[in-house]
Each structure stands twice: as structure tokens, then as C-alpha cells.
Amino acid sequence: MPASKSPLSQIARRSLFRGMFSSVIFGLGPLVSLAAIARYLWPNAAKADEEWTAVGLPSDYQIGDVRFFAEQEVYVARYDDGFMALSQRCSHLRCKVPFNPDTERFECPCHGSIYDNRGVNLAGPAPRPLAVHKMRVRGGALEVRTDINSIEKREIFAPTQVYPYA
């Protein structure tokens, strides 16, 4: 008399793996989606406030000053009509762009893009001006928000946004 086969041995291997795969996809997929939706709808408000960095008092800056903050990769500049926080990253390929105080321009060493002292692209392959970060005055001090969500995109020849803190 032949030995009887168990019910599991009668299931084809392909059917078994297809069933396991479907269970994982249809079981974990909705959970991952719900977690992503919850993260989007309820961001960490405490962390958002920590992303602001103090960059000095407005009175510490003279008109024409451009100061670099390496950790935040941002330049803070004062003009006769206010302040701007400019990204250090080139809008072409995200190279680090130094400020040349002699020419009062930002000059990218990678591909030759040149920006004026307000970050507007003048020459080279850069498709748009340097990004501008949000600024505020809190407790008398200038603060810059440097996370990726704080970047304000500018069009190629659009007027620059200046924060008139005197």
C-alpha cells in the first residue's frame, strides 16, 4: 500500500510562493501606506522649530556684509533694503559656491556659473538663481531656516525676496 501524501505536498511550489508573496503585499502594503499618511498629516512640530538657526543680531551686519555659515551651508547678506539668506549650493549641479568679496559675486568653481551679490545668475550653465532660505527675527536675533522645506524657489529673472529687517 502506497504511503498517503500530506495535503501540503500536493500544493505546487509556485502556488505556495505566490500565496506567501500576496499575503505579504496585501498585508503589509496598507500598513506602510497608513504610516506614511500619518507621518504626512501629523509632522513633528517640535522638530520643525529646531530647524531655525540664529545668525546674529541685525545690528551686527553692515550694509554689504555677506557672512557664511558653514554648518548650515548658507550665506546671510545685508543690503540697503534688508537681508537675504542664500544657499551655498549652485543651482546647476549643487556644487559649493564661494563668495568672492573682491568682485562681490558668487563664483562656482565647477562649471563657471556666476551669480551677483543677490544670488541672481549672470553667466554659466546655472538654470536659475541661488535658492533663498526663509528668515525671521525672533527675540531680537536673525534666524534662518535651513532645512530642505525652507527653500523658496525663484524664477530666472524674478525679483529677489528681501526681508526688510532694519
Supply the pLDDT for residue 76.
92
C-alpha cell at 34: 497608513
pLDDT at 152 over 70: no
pLDDT at 154 over 70: no
Question: What's the one-letter identity of residue 38?
Answer: A
Decide: helix, strand or coil at residue 153: coil
- Its pTM stands at 0.62
Domain ranges of the chain: 8-41, 51-152
The chain-wide mean pLDDT, for the chain, equals 78
CA 42 to CA 164: how far, in whole Å?
32
Q: Cα–Cα distances in Å, from 153 out to 13, 55, 129, 132, 138?
A: 54, 22, 9, 7, 24
CATH no. of 51-152: 2.102.10.10
Residues 6+ away with beta carbon under 8 Å from 47: none
Q: Cα–Cα distances in Å, from 41 out to 11, 45, 50, 151?
A: 44, 11, 19, 21
